[in-house]
Amino acid sequence: MKPPAFDYIRAAHLDEALGALHASGGDARILAGGQSLMPMLNMRLTRPAVLIDIMRLDALAQPRLEKGALVVPAGVRQAALLDRATLVDEVPLLAQALPWVGHAQTRARGTPCGSVAHADPSAETPLCLLALEGEVRLRSRKRARVVKSVDFFTGMMVTARAEDEMVEAIALPLRRPGTGYAFAEVARRHGDYAIVACAATVDSRRIRLAVGGVADRPTARDLPLLDGSALDDALNAFAWDLGAGEDVHATARYRRDLVRHLGRQVIKEALRCRN
């Protein structure tokens, strides 16, 4: 279908975008790469009065390193991040997961911040942000604030972002020595949303496993350094606690099975590459 009618604002400065967001009284959406929002508009699942295009803002165009984190502003496209030669050393988990985000054609336009703002429970970028305990940087006309990833995702495509705020950037903690990172997912076709996606980080103290596609939001659990049947038991408990549902793609039982198997796989891989 075609999108419903809206006013379109091409912001030339961040202040203009934030002012327009404030003035709209909650009836505006930020348009970045459009790879999540445009399908929603075409299917008329959302009907904003105003779209605010932020892709011409130089201030949001470049990733940067800052206090132990890779900061990715809202105008950075997924493909640009994948092309960043140092990404695999800086944030190896994201380097592993990004090729699973859509296809080359959508990664050329889509943005990591857009994925986070959209907050699909199966999406890879929110999962990585949560696994790494990253931050979401929000800004409104009046204030800027930082929300921890664990507090940002509050439900199925629902986040802690207020209506007059935009996701200005995400901050992904840089690789730490002695920590291993691994990602895996199962989908019907490469590029589809995951049926289940798992991301693990393992250091000398703990295992952190994040799971997407099962609960209504990406969900993480910290475990001690277990192995053998103790790890199996912990994964089984996590799989049940996620409250898997059944849909056209998979049964609840299959999803629990994927959590157990993919969970073990990514933990094993993260342990292997820990150094």
From the list 104-112, 129-137, 146-154, 257-265, the region that binds another protein by CB under 8 A is 104-112
Measured between alpha carbons, how far is residue 3 from residues 6, 42, 50 in Å?
8, 4, 12
x/- mask, another protein, residues 177-216, rule CB under 8 A, reads ------------xxx-------------------------
Nearest approach in angstroms of CB 249 to another protein is 15
The answer to whether 8 contacts another protein (rule: CB under 8 A) is: yes
The answer to whether 22 contacts another protein (rule: CB under 8 A) is: no
Cβ–Cβ contacts within 10 Å for residue 76, how many? 24
The answer to whether 142 contacts another protein (rule: CB under 8 A) is: no
Rounded CA separation 248/43 (Å): 19
Given the complex with another protein, which of 41 and 172 has the nearer CB atom?
41
The answer to whether 108 contacts another protein (rule: CB under 8 A) is: yes
Surface-to-core class of residue 155, CB atoms within 10 Å of its CB (0-12 exposed, 13-18 middle, 19+ buried): exposed
The answer to whether 95 contacts another protein (rule: CB under 8 A) is: no
Nearest approach in angstroms of CB 13 to another protein is 8
The sign one gets for the Cα dihedral 86, 89, 95, 96 is positive
Given the complex with another protein, which of 9 and 270 has the nearer CB atom?
9
The answer to whether 1 contacts another protein (rule: CB under 8 A) is: yes
How many chain residues are in contact with another protein, going by CB under 8 A? 38
Rounded CA separation 31/54 (Å): 6
Q: Please answer whether residues 52 and 20 qualify as being in contact, where contact means their C-beta atoms are separated by less than 8 angstroms.
A: yes
From the list 12-20, 131-139, 143-151, 160-168, the region that binds another protein by CB under 8 A is 12-20
Nearest approach in angstroms of CB 78 to another protein is 11
End-to-end Cα separation, the chain, in angstroms: 51
Given the complex with another protein, which of 16 and 232 has the nearer CB atom?
16
Given the complex with another protein, which of 44 and 176 has the nearer CB atom?
44
> Which residues, 23 to 62, sit near another protein by CB under 8 A?
31, 34-35, 38-39, 41-43, 49, 51, 53, 55
Nearest approach in angstroms of CB 79 to another protein is 7
Please, which contacts does 189-192 make with residues 24 or more away whose CB atoms are closer than 8 Å? 190/100, 190/103, 191/100, 191/102, 191/103, 191/106
Q: Report the interface residues with another protein, using CB under 8 A.
A: 1-13, 16, 20, 31, 34-35, 38-39, 41-43, 49, 51, 53, 55, 79, 102-106, 108-109, 189-191
